[in-house]
Amino acid sequence: MILAALWRHRASYLFLLPTFLFLAVFNYLPALSGLYHAFTEWETGGTAHWIGLDNFRQMAGDEFLRLSIVNQVILLIANLIKTLVVPLIVAEMLFHLRSKRLQYALRTTLLIPMVVPGMVGVLLWGFIYDPNIGLLNNALTALGLKGLTRAWLGDWHTALPAVIGVGFPWISGLALLIYLAGLIAIPQDVLDSCAVDGASGWKRIWNVDLPLLRGQMRLLAALTIIGTLQDFGSLLVLTGGGPGLATHVPALHMYYEAFRFGHYGYASAIGFVLFLTILAFTVANMRFARSAVELG
């Protein structure tokens, strides 16, 4: 009887066939393969054979990996602050503008940085940090602060802060749009009742706007966490993890292990652990998220 039902709806299944063909080959298969190979020894040019938890034992003893985790935590916290706080402030500022035309104009111009490809932005900042002809050092010298100039990406004290500083003033276009949409969606009567109650300015922001934006903040937090844990392209291009291990992160370690040293099995194990971490954060995020928002 099931077969009859399937046959009756064969149009639907046929419509979905191309989709699932693609997904099976390019998404499910690699995902399962990645999970499987984390438990194998698999070197480039060789075949994979099962070794159980050995890769994970090796990870526990990998000193370089341990140090990279410290950097990752720092970067994660910094990125969360960058994404959650700054665009929120700017969105509030825009929201409070009287003139809708001005609001629209400013919002659009603030989105201009999105037009620049991500990698170009990173390279530009590498250029800004150049010790010789970079904008930062030249600006400091022009302001009479020559003593503050240094090799920002070369000095191990300043390398990680410099990486965090990329993108100043950190007004992420995506976050800005999301926050602004959230603010505009606040029902007018809520705002009116606040005005009547005399709760204006900071009080309103703290007590009304922020709770109502919780959904957006959670979405952005989730995106930031997932993005930060996975992103190593910019680090690869800016510093390569250096100097030493000052800007090394687990995802970069995984890339080196796989594509420079040929240890695909070990790298898969690192990827597996990263995946578990991301999964844990995502689940935690979903638990606390509520799409319906109570208006108190």
Partner 1 sequence: MAVRRGEGKTQRSVGQTALIGGLLVLLALALMPFGMMLVMSLKSNAQIFAHFWELPSPPRWDFYGQAWSALNGYISNTLLIAFLTVLGVLVLSSMAGYTFARHRFPGREALYYLILALMMIPGVLTLIPTFALVKAIAIPEVHIGGIIFGPFALLNTRGALILPYISGGQILGILLCRGFFQGLPEEMFEAARLDGAGEFDIYRRIALPLSKPILAAVAITTALGVYNDYIWPLVAVTDNSIQTFTVGVTKFAGEYNLDYGPTLAGYALGSLPLLLLFALGMRPFIQGITAGSIKA
Partner 2 sequence: MIMQTRKKKRNDPVPPLGRLFALLTFLFIIVLVGGDGNLRAQSPASGKAHIVLSTVSANYREGLMQLAQEYERLHPGVSVTVQIQPVNGYETWLRTQIESKSDAAPDIYNINYTNGYYERGLLVNLTPFISAQNPYTGKPWRDNLDAQFLEKYKSGGDVATIPLDFIEVAFFYNKGLFARLGLQPPHTWEEMLATAQKVKAAGYIPFAVPGDTDSYWSGAVGWIFRFFTDAYMRDAVPQVMARPGDWDYDPRKNADFHLNGNDPYNDATVVVNPERLLLAVRDRQFRMDSPRFREAYRKIAEFAQYWQPGFNGTSANSAYQLFLTQKAAMMINTSTTIATLARDMDDLYPQDRFDWDLFPIPPMTQSAFHIPPFRGVGGAGVVFGIVKKSDEQTQRTVDFLMYLTTPHATQTLVAQAVRARQPINGPMLIPGAQLPEQMARRFSAFEHRGFEKLSFRGLADEQESVWKWTVWAQRYLDGRISVDDCLAHYQQVMEEAVPRVARQMNYDLDPRTKDPPKP
Binding interface with partner 2 (CB under 8 A): 10-11, 14-15, 17-18, 43, 45, 64, 130-133, 150-156, 159, 239-245, 256, 260-261, 263
- Which residue type is seen at 181? A
User: Min. distance of Cβ 78 from partner 1 in angstroms?
Assistant: 18
Q: Which of 61, 101, 108, 189 binds partner 1 (CB under 8 A)?
A: 108
CB atoms within 10 A of CB 163: 24
Interface with partner 1 includes 5 (CB under 8 A)? yes
User: Min. distance of Cβ 65 from partner 2 in angstroms?
Assistant: 12
The stretch among 16-24, 52-60, 63-71, 151-159 that binds partner 1 (CB under 8 A) is 16-24
Q: Binding to partner 1 (CB under 8 A): which residues in 217-246?
A: 218-219, 226, 229-230, 232-233, 237
Interface with partner 1 includes 53 (CB under 8 A)? no
78 or 236: CB nearest partner 2: 236
39 or 232: CB nearest partner 1: 232
Residue 142 binds: one of partner 1, partner 2, none (C-beta under 5 to 8 A by kind)? partner 1
User: Min. distance of Cβ 80 from partner 1 in angstroms?
Assistant: 17
Going by the DSSP 8-state scheme, the letter that residue 146 receives in this structure is G
Residue 150 binds: one of partner 2, partner 1, none (C-beta under 5 to 8 A by kind)? partner 2
CB 183 within 8 A of CB 213: yes
25 or 116: CB nearest partner 2: 25
User: Min. distance of Cβ 14 from partner 2 in angstroms?
Assistant: 6
Interface with partner 1 includes 268 (CB under 8 A)? yes
145's tokens: 């602060």
Q: Binding to partner 1 (CB under 8 A): which residues in 142-201?
A: 142, 168-169, 171, 174, 177-178, 181-182, 185, 191-192, 195
| Residue 16 backbone dihedrals phi, psi, to 5 degrees | -90, -10
